[in-house]
């Protein structure tokens, strides 16, 4: 199976990457390394037997140390190039398109010998789409469209792996796992994509911000798997190229819209959650978490008030009525139900209140989390309801009315040691829902 690698915009000095890859990939293949991300592999420790593929001989240890030295040199070069790139960052919003096939050759005898062993390294094509201040570029959706167009001309590969820059491979067999579904004669004609879960390696045990998105990847997506499959989660998916034919993506949240549009055309998807094939960095800062939630809420409301709203578009396009209700449920989670507490309806209100929270607690415990995680999810849900969901909804409406241009705020997921320590601190919010109920009864 021939593979091609298309990195996105503003990826400085790609030749450094391909030079190191010609050493790193043969090393992983020779010793059966499962985690093929060098930073994660070397940070795991020297005694990680699973990641070393069961090898422990002197030859392996020596070659591993040699590879680690080469990685440190490579990382230093990337850091230096990044500083130079930041100085020229004024051209990021206004530049011409660049498509370059990276061919790295070396006159060094050691590198030349290694190049013969690395003949199967994927071909690297650097793509930087054109950007002009006067023209909309549709953010991430526009970048994916350009990558699809370029790859169609160069490789025209039938299957495409979409991966964010903050994710890394945790299982070298993930392509085979995806192809087990795509090449299955029973489901292949209607299968659009294989979605892998998003698992984050930098989340604390308490997860005070619910950054792991437990309800989405451990509850909703597993349920969706039996009803046509989940939507595109934005990263970690193997999608069939032919399923994207005829699509026009211009929404801020391109992942939900793409998945919804594919299901409306009759395609299905598969969720494969057994082993975390990809690991990424989640948000560990409250400001970044709320900004991310605002962007997601704005994108979902943008779809809800468009012509592709599940309220009017889904019931007539999806294969089953239950499937259309399922898509509608992903939008309605933004809305809080308001009850008027009175003596007459207090019993009904109490039953709904207790049953809702009991169901949520059961889901948290059933997915392997603890009671503290349930408390944290309740607290962050209240915070997001009055901040990200509200601001995102207003932002989407203002955009539709022409009062504001579409915006995309990238989330900073760079690990900060001090921030990670603060994130691991345990604390609780004393004001709870019971106090709100008592105050409502007094009124």
DSSP H helices, 88-138, are 109-117
- Which of 183, 321, 189, 326 minimizes the C-alpha distance to 267? 189
307 is annotated as contributing to ligand binding: no
DSSP letter, residue 53: T
Sheet with 199-200, side-by-side order of all strands: 167-169, 278-280, 199-200
Report the SS3 class of residue 38. Answer: helix
Q: What DSSP element (H or E) covers 167?
A: strand 167-169
Which tokens go with 25?
């990939």
Phi-psi region of 163 (alpha: psi -120 to 50; beta: other; left: phi over 0): beta
In order of 30, 75, 117, 244, the CA distances from 125 in angstroms are: 25, 21, 21, 21
Q: Is 50 annotated as a binding residue?
A: no
DSSP codes, 142-172: HHHHHHHHHHHHHT--SEEEE--TTEEES-T
CA distance 431 to 443: 18
Q: How many Cα atoms within 13 Å fall on the side-chain side of residue 234?
A: 16
CB-CB contact of 280 with 168 (8 Å) = yes
Q: Whats the size of the chain, residue-wise?
A: 443
Nearest CA-CA partner of 33 in 182, 172, 234:
172
> Could you tell me which residues are annotated as the binding site for Mn(2+)?
140, 164
> Could you tell me which residues are annotated as the binding site?
140, 164
């Amino acid at each position: 199976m021939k593979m091609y690698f298309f990195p996105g915009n503003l990826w400085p000095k790609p030749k450094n990457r391909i030079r190191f890859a010609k050493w790193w990939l043969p090393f992983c293949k020779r010793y059966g390394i499962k985690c093929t991300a060098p930073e994660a592999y070397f940070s795991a420790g020297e005694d990680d037997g699973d990641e070393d593929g069961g090898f422990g001989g002197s030859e392996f240890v020596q070659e591993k140390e040699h590879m680690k030295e080469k990685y440190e040199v490579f990382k230093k070069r990337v850091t230096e190039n990044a500083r130079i790139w930041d100085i020229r960052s004024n051209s990021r919003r206004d530049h011409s398109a660049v498509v370059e096939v990276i061919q790295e050759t070396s006159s060094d005898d050691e590198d030349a010998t290694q190049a013969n062993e690395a003949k199967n390294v994927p071909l690297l094509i650097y793509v930087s789409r054109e950007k002009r201040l006067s023209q909309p570029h549709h953010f991430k959706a526009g970048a994916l469209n350009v990558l699809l167009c370029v790859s169609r001309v160069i490789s025209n590969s039938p299957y495409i792996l979409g991966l964010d820059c903050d994710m890394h491979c945790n299982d070298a067999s993930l392509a085979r796992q995806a192809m087990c579904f795509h090449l299955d004669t029973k489901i292949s004609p209607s299968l659009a994509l294989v979605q892998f879960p998003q698992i984050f390696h930098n989340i604390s045990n308490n997860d005070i911000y619910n950054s792991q998105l437990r309800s989405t990847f451990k509850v909703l997506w597993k349920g969706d798997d039996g009803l046509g499959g989940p939507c595109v989660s934005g990263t970690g998916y193997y999608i069939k190229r032919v399923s994207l034919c005829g699509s026009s993506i211009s929404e801020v949240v391109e992942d939900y819209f793409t998945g919804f549009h594919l299901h409306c055309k009759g395609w299905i998807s598969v969720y494969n959650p057994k082993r975390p094939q990809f690991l990424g960095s989640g948000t560990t800062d409250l400001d970044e978490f709320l900004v991310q939630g605002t962007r997601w809420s704005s994108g979902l409301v943008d779809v809800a008030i468009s012509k592709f709203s599940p309220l009017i578009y889904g019931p007539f396009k999806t294969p089953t009525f239950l499937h259309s209700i399922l898509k509608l449920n992903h939008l309605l989670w933004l809305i809080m139900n308001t009850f008027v507490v009175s003596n007459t309806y207090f019993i009904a209100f109490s039953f709904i209140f207790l049953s809702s929270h009991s169901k949520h607690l059961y889901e948290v415990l059933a997915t392997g989390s603890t009671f503290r995680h349930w408390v944290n999810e309740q607290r962050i849900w209240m915070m997001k309801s009055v901040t990200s969901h509200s601001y995102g909804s207003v932002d989407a409406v203002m955009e539709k009315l022409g009062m504001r241009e579409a915006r995309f705020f990238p989330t900073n997921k760079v690990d900060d040691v001090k921030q990670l320590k603060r994130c691991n601190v345990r604390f609780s919010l004393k004001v709870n829902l019971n106090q709100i109920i008592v105050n409502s009864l007094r009124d």
